[in-house]
Homo-oligomer: A and B are copies of this chain.
Amino acid sequence: MKKLIIAILYALLAAVSVFAEVKTIPIKWEKVAPGVWKAQVGKSESLTLLGAAGTKPAIEALRGLPVVAFPLNRKEIEARQWDWKTALRFPLGLDEEIYGLGVDFKMMRRTGSVFQLHVDHWGGISGRTHAPVPLYISTRGYAVLFNSARFLQMNVGLGVRLAAGQRPPVIDRTTGKGWAALPRSDSIEALANAEGMEVLVFAGPTPMDAIRRYNLYSGGGALPPKWGLGFLARTPTRYTSEQALNEIGEFRKNGIPLDMLGLEPGWHDQAYPCSFEWDSKRFADPGKFLAEVERQHVRVNLWFNPYVSPTAPLYRKLLPFAGTHLVWNGIVPDYTMPRARKIFADHLEREVVSVNPKAVGGFKIDEVDGYDRYLWPDTATFPSGRDGEQLRQTYGLLVQRLVYDLFRRQNRRTLGQVRGTNAGASPFPFVIYNDNYAFDEYITAVGNSGFAGVLWSPEVRGGKGEEMLRRTQAVVLSPLALFNGWATDDKLWTHPEVKEHIRDAILLRMRLLPYLYTTFAQYHYQGTPVVRPMPLVPGFKTPGQQVSGQLDSTANPYAIGRVNEVKDQYMLGDALLVAPMPPGVTSRKVVLPAGRWYDFYTGKLAGEDQIIEVSTPLSKIPLFVRDGSLVPMIEERQWSPEPNEILPLEIRHYGELPGKLSLYDDDGETFNYEKGDYSRTQLSAAQNADGNWQGSVTPDKNGTKWHYSQVSWTFMTSR
């Protein structure tokens, strides 16, 4: 009895201690858009991710999605605060799987993992990545965004709570059966060192719909200029204007398409840190240089990192906005401050873009991710009062925003690259990249980006024959087709044994422009990701069982099992299933989802709802088309169409099902589409009463901007 009383007293004492220290915060959900709810837990932060991005939700477009109720049980969502920490708990059902939470390069499924979301160069550590977007997507058909500019500690289905309604069974590991090294928790938990956090919930009903709502709430996906869907090649660092022009000539001579030429640090007169002034020796006459570039139907994309050199004229103007620490001896301006953004953007506009607005297509924003050893420490503070952590999580967003706005003010679209970004980036036409170069990781990230509202390309950086070819074949079927020659002498035509195949791959890229552009239009207007990872593909079921772990005293001391994931293939748009062939591999498995799938090149049936073994010759990348798809294509060409160029259009139909496609078009370079200056032409294909296939084109009566003529139909399967 005495022991019972003592136990009760201690329990009360413990309970009082907990209540005195840790507070449970009631959460008030506010509907902010169709199918989108927001809550502010604790104090508002002066900086959030969507705030840094300058997010303007596409409310009208959101109305186009199904009407749905709040997709969770509100009672199961908890917020706790203690000291300066805010912890959120969302429910996780036994059958539920979680995706997203940043572009990981190894895994897609997040259930059963713990990591910290922290902008960084990917280096193998989960959560530390270029786009650690704190958005998770549930297979139950909703998504949650932790709109916090802090490092976020995430526990996804790990960390069983004592108070949980249903806890996993307790099994003796020594003799019991079914002991689990990682007992599944009923929660997804997020923790920030902050006195408050904003969180948003996006309804479905499907997971894809939830992603669409997130992308649309962020302002809609990026719609790049048409020329951004062509081909980009970056030159070696020290190239001069003469060498750059010569490079364009080499492309033309070798018959390899080129739209954008990337100039590397050498265009600056000082780099690392940067001066943002044309180098007077390497680029003595930028105007003349750019005029010639323009004449060649090319645009330049200029590299920079945002760390300003003391030698730069820009330095003096940005010094009042500098943080306490330097990066590569350059100042780090506080771009959370609008005035600082304006100074930088004005400089870029005046010194660079306005030299030739048509020929300066965009910028490559480097080194806004990490690693930690290069960037400012967490101890850095900035004039706005914000600190190293907050700037680290948002710097990429802020610089993208100021560059995007710069071009927008000129009513021009840009396409660029960036190495660090975060939530809210969906409208920004910057594609991410990194130095790691592992093929399988590069491909995983292509699909995984579809969960994060960002774009990733597996750029080609060199490599001997087969490697350069296989990587080129993959990159042309990704958001940005590019070759990055910054630190190599190799060119796309260097290896004779693969040169023709490389050219063919890039020519295929050019042919696919109408298809890619319509896909990006889906991204912009409906929020549908350009690349769809397999878990988002209708009819896809993860093949294979959970594989049990074998105990090994050093390699696997907790006998952890493994889950098969299909990460080495993805869909590009509605029709194309891309299965890149790694270098050195002669055959690979491809998982074909439910329904029939056809070989892109021949139109022949490849399979249905099955795993096939594919051996393609060097000349081809495994590419499959969904039954009934229409794939609009133009002819092979060496550069993207000019805004008013009219082109013959070939529409390919695959399979045996009828096809429908809403083909999008606009002027391809301005924002006039926002005022209705675009068209959606309805294409359809079906068999007539005699069984013959016929295609029809229904023009958009209210539409403007249609650049196709001589529409021809190719029935790939039926011919």
Residues of the B chain whose Cβ atoms lie less than 8 Å from the Cβ of A162: 322-326, 331
Pairwise interchain contact B553-A486, C-beta atoms closer than 8 A: yes
The contact size tier of chain A is: 35 or more
Contact call B554/A265, Cβ cutoff below 8 A:
no
> How many whole Å from A268's CB to the nearest CB in chain B?
7
Q: Which residues of B contact A380 (CB under 8 A)?
A: 159
Contact: A558 with B374, CB < 8 Å?
Answer: yes
A114 contacts B by Cβ under 8 Å: yes
Q: How far is the CA of A160 from the CA of B329 in the complex (A)?
A: 7
Give the chain B neighbours of A552 by CB distance below 8 A: 487
Q: Which residues of B contact A272 (CB under 8 A)?
A: 172-174, 179
Cβ of A158 under 8 Å from chain B = yes
Chain B residues near A170: list those with CB within 8 A: 270, 273, 309-311, 329-330
A405, B181: Cα distance in complex, Å: 32
With A82-B385, A552-B487 in contact, do A326 and B167 touch (Cβ < 8 Å)?
yes
Chain B residues whose C-beta falls within 8 Å of the C-beta of A488 in the assembled complex: 553
- Residue on B nearest A183 in the bound complex, by CB: B329
Interchain CB contact under 8 A, B161 and A11? no
Quick check: A21 and B385 within 8 Å, CB to CB?
yes
Contact A83 B387 (CB under 8 A): yes
Selecting from A12-20, A93-101, A695-703, the interface stretch reads: A12-20
Q: Mark A23-39, 1 if CB is under 8 A from B, else 0.
A: 00000000000000000
User: A435 on the interface (CB 8 Å rule)?
Assistant: yes
* Copies of this protein in the complex: 2
Across the interface, which residues of B come within 8 angstroms of A18, CB to CB?
381, 383, 385
The answer, yes or no, to whether A548 is at the interface (CB within 8 Å) is: no
Q: A153-B377, A238-B174, A379-B80 are in contact. Are A324 and B161 (CB under 8 A)?
A: yes
| Assembled-state Cα–Cα distance A87/B554 (Å) | 39
Residues of B within 8 A of A112 (CB): 373
Does A462 sit at the interface, judged by CB under 8 A? yes
CB interface residues, A 320-355, toward B, < 8 Å: 320-326, 328-331, 339
Tell which of B159, B266, B462, B487 touches A376, judged by Cβ atoms closer than 8 Å.
B159
Q: Is A437's beta carbon under 8 Å from chain B?
A: yes
Q: Is the CB of B487 within 8 A of A17?
A: no
Q: Are A10 and B557 in contact (CB under 8 A)?
A: no
CA distance A484 to B552 in the complex (A): 13
Complex CA–CA separation, A570 to B563 (angstroms): 43
Tell me whether A175 is interfacial, beta carbon within 8 Å. Answer: yes
Known A10-B320, A85-B193; further 10 A-B contacts with Cβ < 8 A: A20-B385, A80-B379, A82-B387, A84-B84, A155-B378, A161-B325, A162-B331, A168-B329, A461-B553, A487-B553
Among all A-B residue pairs, the 8 with the closest Cβ atoms: A84-B84, A487-B553, A21-B385, A173-B272, A14-B383, A437-B554, A159-B377, A10-B320
Residues of A within 8 A of B (CB): 7, 10-11, 13-14, 17-18, 20-22, 80, 82-85, 87, 89, 112-115, 125, 153, 155, 158-163, 167-170, 172-175, 179, 181-183, 189, 191, 193, 195, 237-238, 265-266, 268-273, 279, 309-311, 316-317, 319-326, 328-331, 339, 372-374, 376-381, 383-385, 387, 435-437, 461-462, 484, 486-488, 551-554, 557-558
- Provide 16 A-B residue pairs closer than 8 Å at the C-beta atoms, listed in order of the A residue: A10-B320, A14-B383, A82-B381, A82-B387, A85-B193, A153-B377, A159-B326, A160-B326, A167-B326, A170-B310, A173-B265, A191-B378, A193-B193, A461-B553, A487-B557, A488-B553
